[in-house]
């Protein structure tokens, strides 16, 4: 018994140590967003200031990048919710030839390295002579956002009792009434959680965007360019803090919704 408690204690300590180690870079980014030093990273920072938040707020290139990233993430999430829900409805309970292959193809875009997905999309656009635009980015992001929504929706549908659908049919409901009053309420939190995760993934995606954006600059690409040829280093850290906040909140909300759905 004592050895089991000791092993459990060491496991907890190791887990927290790994979590802290992974979050050290994020803590440094937040710290240097308040650094008064503009051109170098000195630890600890010689002085702290909030002036860079005002500087970042006033830069139009930052706002253009944020606006583009937000629009791309919103459209990608909307497409992912529609396609992911339809795919989950088709594959959750029905058995047919090739179902496992289709499931594998749906999951591949997020399982493969982003650079492979990006190269494949760029080659496809080139082959079909599709010019780079806002929509080429949206399509690229939707390919992996669909997976997140699909996984959440198919898991919820497989846990849903078939007797609910049978009861709805016995009470005279048609397919659309069943969808509205039975299926969608059961799927609501799963779709919301999947949509929040998809939005967070799309908002800070850089690898696939690099291959599909052309001359457009989303926020992650803007940050990458600033790291290569920086104008004001602390401004980049300020924008990184904004990205951390904008992605952390949806992920936390999705986690809470997923746990709530699992407990029901």
Give backbone dihedrals phi and psi of 48, rounded to 5 degrees, phi first: -115, 145
Please enumerate in sequence order all residues whose Cβ is within 8 A of that of 158, keeping only pairs 6 or more positions apart, or say none: 92, 93
Give residue 158's pLDDT: 77
Which residue is listed with tokens 């078939």? 162
The predicted-structure confidence for 227-251, as pLDDT tens digits, reads as follows 776 666 777 888 888 777 777 777 7
CA distance 136 to 139: 5
77 is written with which tokens? 């999430």
The count of residues in the chain is 264
Q: What is the pLDDT along the chain (264 residues), one digit of tens a residue?
A: 555 665 677 787 888 888 888 778 788 877 777 776 666 666 677 767 777 788 778 788 888 888 898 899 999 999 998 888 888 878 777 777 777 787 778 787 777 788 888 888 888 888 888 888 888 889 888 888 888 888 888 888 777 777 776 677 767 776 777 777 777 777 777 788 888 888 888 888 888 888 888 788 888 888 877 777 666 677 788 888 877 777 777 777 766 766 655 555
Instruction: Write out the DSSP string of 146-183.
Output: HHHHHHHHHHHHHHS-HHHHHHHHHTT--HHHHIIIII
CB under 8 A, 24+ apart: contacts of 132-138: 132/212, 132/213, 132/214, 132/215, 132/216, 133/214, 133/216, 134/68, 134/71, 134/72, 134/216, 136/212, 136/213, 136/214, 137/72, 137/209, 137/212, 137/213, 137/216, 137/218, 138/72, 138/75, 138/76, 138/79
The predicted-structure confidence for 142-187, as pLDDT tens digits, reads as follows 888 888 888 888 888 777 777 776 677 767 776 777 777 777 777 7
Q: What is residue 121's three-state secondary structure?
A: helix
CA distance 122 to 125: 5
Among the listed residues 177, 158, 182, 152, the one whose alpha carbon sits nearest the alpha carbon of residue 77: 152
Entry pTM: 0.77
């Amino acid at each position: 018994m004592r050895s089991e408690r000791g092993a459990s204690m060491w496991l907890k300590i190791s887990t927290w140590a790994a979590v802290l180690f992974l979050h050290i870079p994020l803590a440094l980014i937040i710290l240097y967003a308040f650094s008064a030093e503009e051109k170098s990273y000195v630890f600890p920072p010689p002085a702290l200031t909030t002036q860079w938040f005002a500087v970042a707020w006033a830069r139009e290139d930052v706002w253009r990048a944020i606006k583009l990233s937000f629009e791309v993430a919103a459209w990608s999430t909307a497409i992912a919710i529609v396609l992911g829900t339809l795919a989950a409805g088709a594959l959750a309970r029905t058995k047919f030839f090739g179902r496992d292959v289709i499931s594998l193809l749906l999951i591949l875009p997020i399982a493969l390295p982003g650079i492979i997905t990006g190269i494949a999309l760029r080659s496809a656009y080139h082959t079909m002579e599709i010019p780079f635009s806002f929509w080429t980015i949206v399509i690229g992001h939707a390919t992996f956002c669909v997976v997140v929504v699909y996984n959440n929706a198919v898991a919820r549908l497989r846990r849903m009792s078939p007797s609910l659908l049978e009861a709805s049919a016995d009470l005279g409901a048609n397919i659309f009434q069943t969808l509205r009053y039975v299926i969608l309420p059961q799927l609501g939190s799963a779709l919301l959680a999947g949509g929040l995760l998809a939005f967070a993934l799309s908002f800070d995606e850089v690898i696939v965007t690099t291959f599909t954006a052309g001359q457009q600059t989303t926020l992650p690409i803007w940050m990458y360019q600033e790291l290569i040829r920086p104008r004001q280093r602390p401004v980049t850290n300020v924008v990184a803090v904004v990205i951390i906040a904008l992605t952390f909140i949806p992920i936390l909300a999705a986690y809470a919704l997923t746990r709530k759905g699992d407990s029901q």
